[in-house]
Structure 1
Amino acid sequence: MRLRVIHETVYQYTPAVQNAQHLAHLRPRSAGGQQVLAHTLQVDPTPSQCITGQDVFGNGRAFLLLPFTHERLRVRAETLLETSARPPAPPGAPWEAVRERLGYQRGMPYHPAAEFGFASPYIPRHADFVDYARDSFVLGRPLMDAARELMARIHADFAYTAHLTDAGTPALESLRLRRGVCQDFAHVMIGCLRSMGLAARYVSGYLLTEPPPGQPRLVGADASHAWVSVWSPSLKAEGDRDGGGNAPEWFDLDPTNNRAAGEDYVTLAIGRDFSDVSPLRGVIHGGDRHVLQVGVTVEPAEPARRN
């Protein structure tokens, strides 16, 4: 599937900002069943410096420096990419065997997935998450079977409620409220998995949404999305830390929609939680008040014709 994604952010400041520094995570990844074909980042006013690179998780990022007075900031990212169907997640090894593999064992190599088993700024490891997750994680149950049931339970138990939470709402508060948006659902599911001793990543991105029958697709009417990536390696034998070689080890589940991510999903960035992958964040001097507008468009793109 060929998709075009436009993500535009506009800030209006009162009074004017004197200088600013921003960090943008707006370039989708070229990995995991998707390939970026073209990407542009437009910033108005033009920054004095725009330094692009990758963060520690392999996400594309841009550092923007604006050391001058401005009343408005507009950041527009446009990406053309190709996505493909993702392989279905096998049931996997028993979840407790995967948990044991993440634990420290003398003489055994460190696995990078272990980093996503620890607490993070928005997601602690906590007994309340264990209490909620325990019913899905009976001993001997394949990890992905348990993870899919956990996803379905969150989808059924939690009400999607806009404007009740914000980017800084802790995952434990979302668990208590049983309400929130996709970010909250993802944080709760990650908290449950990590508190059970497993590894899970926060994924930010986009989802292709279809307009109602007979209605036009509205430019800017979509939104960014968030879901969960679960580490479920193939364990071939006792003590085998390499697992299934080149077989996929991370599988994406979306508790907001109770489904696995497919070719209609676009992965923007991965991290421990939202704090690692905010699309645009920064530090400003001035601008005591601001008005924020965000518009996202995800639409099918016609493939280029060949002569």
Structure 2
Amino acid sequence: MRARVTHTLSYRYSAPVQLGPHRLCLRPRAHGFQRLVSFELFFSPDPHRLHLLVAASGDDVLRARFAGSTDSFEIRATSEVDTQMPPLLQACLEENEPLLPYPVGLLNSDLKGSLDGWLPNGQHEPAAVELAQEALMGSDQRALMFLQQLVEMIQDRVKYTQRHVGPAWPAGRTLKERVGSCRDLAVLMIEACRCVGLPARFVSGYHLVEPRPQRYDLHAWAEVYLPGAGWRGFDPSGQGAIDDRYIPLATSSKSGLTAAVSGSFSGPPGVKSELSWAISADVLSEEHTVPNLLQL
């Protein structure tokens, strides 16, 4: 699939302010099952300095610094991407489907950050442990069956709802409230996967759902590392295993590091800010392809 996405964020301030450093995760992933065809970024006011860096996850992150004062701030990112259907997990794993719980010692140490629990000392939440144990029952300890049952259990127990402000909830709160946003459900799935030795991380991006909504929202889902298949996406607030209509922007073992825009401003006492945003998307081609690695 080829798509063009325009993401605009506009800030208004009640008095002139000085913009602090900003971190932007608006550049779509350019590797794996996705190719970045073009990317344009518009600022008002223009940054004094802008540079690209590669995050720990391997994704592109932009850093911007500003000079002077302003009573408004606008960012507009326009991206064109080609996405591909990932190969079937069953074909990747063949006879080597991981059995759970997966021994942590067999994994590359680079994955450790995607195994830690969300509590301050790295422990797993008891509620997530219990959910993982339930999903493990009846899965014959097979990873793919576990993931399928986990998604079904989350969707059965938690009602998906939109929530545009605030950080992702911890797993225990989401299960207790029985309602949660896409980022809340993603964190719940991530925590449950980590309980059984499957590295998992948070993904922020776009889901070009069908039928087309009146407006698109930024979306969140989980990526799980399956030995033999690598990082693969799962959407507990959607269809489970993702397809080529998902466009990843940023991934991290910590959800807060995937925010589209994060930064600061300073101004006179009592100054207030107001944010408005819009995401528009056009699907330019519906061709569904699977990467052919025999012809590079």
Change (3 A) 1:208 1:14: same
Q: Structure 1 residue aligned with 2:117, among 99, 104, 119?
A: 119
Segment of structure 1 superposing worse, 293-302 or 57-66: 293-302
CA distance in 2, matches of 1:10, 1:164: 15
Shift of 1:211: 3.8
Q: Structure 2 residue aligned with 1:292, among 260, 275, 294?
A: 275
Counterparts of 1:1-307 in structure 2, within 5 Å, are 1-90=1-90, 92-96=97-101, 99-100=102-103, 102-103=104-105, 110-120=108-118, 125-138=124-137, 140-163=140-163, 166-211=166-211, 218=214, 221-234=215-228, 248-286=229-267, 288-301=271-284
Segment of structure 1 superposing worse, 58-67 or 109-118: 109-118
CA contact (8 A) 2:19 2:69 kept: yes
CA distance in 2, matches of 1:73, 1:121: 36
CA contact (8 A) 2:119 2:125 kept: no
- 1:301 counterpart SS class: strand
CA contact (8 A) 2:14 2:273 kept: yes
- Letter of the 1:227 counterpart: W
- Letter of the 2:242 counterpart: A
User: 1:245: which partner in 2?
Assistant: none
- 1:26 counterpart SS class: coil
- 2:152 counterpart SS class: helix
User: 1:241: which partner in 2?
Assistant: none
CA deviation map 1:130-158 (0-9, x unaligned): 11221111374211210111011111211
- Letter of the 2:124 counterpart: R
Shift of 1:169: 3.3
CA distance in 1, matches of 2:19, 2:200: 37
CA contact (8 A) 1:5 1:80 kept: yes
Change (3 A) 1:57 1:13: same
TM-score normalised per structure 2: 0.86
Aligned residues: 277
CA distance in 2, matches of 1:17, 1:27: 26
CA contact (8 A) 2:168 2:183 kept: no
CA contact (8 A) 2:161 2:182 kept: no
CA contact (8 A) 2:157 2:175 kept: no
Segment of structure 1 superposing worse, 158-167 or 45-54: 158-167
CA distance in 1, matches of 2:236, 2:52: 32
TM-score normalised per structure 1: 0.83
- Letter of the 2:116 counterpart: F
Change (3 A) 1:165 1:137: farther
Shift of 1:210: 3.0
CA distance in 2, matches of 1:193, 1:63: 32
Where structure 2 has 5 or more consecutive residues not aligned to the other structure, the ranges are 287-296
User: 1:240: which partner in 2?
Assistant: none
Segment of structure 1 superposing worse, 274-283 or 169-178: 169-178
Shift of 1:47: 1.0
CA contact (8 A) 1:53 1:62 kept: yes
CA distance in 2, matches of 1:19, 1:166: 21
CA distance in 2, matches of 1:156, 1:171: 15
CA distance in 2, matches of 1:65, 1:205: 24
- 1:95 counterpart SS class: coil
CA contact (8 A) 2:36 2:79 kept: yes
CA contact (8 A) 2:118 2:125 kept: no
CA distance in 2, matches of 1:12, 1:62: 22
- Letter of the 2:171 counterpart: A
CA distance in 2, matches of 1:171, 1:20: 32
CA distance in 1, matches of 2:155, 2:196: 19
Segment of structure 1 superposing worse, 70-79 or 170-179: 170-179
Identity of aligned residues (%): 25
Change (3 A) 1:124 1:66: farther
CA distance in 2, matches of 1:71, 1:168: 30
Shift of 1:62: 1.0
Shift of 1:124: 5.6
Shift of 1:21: 1.5
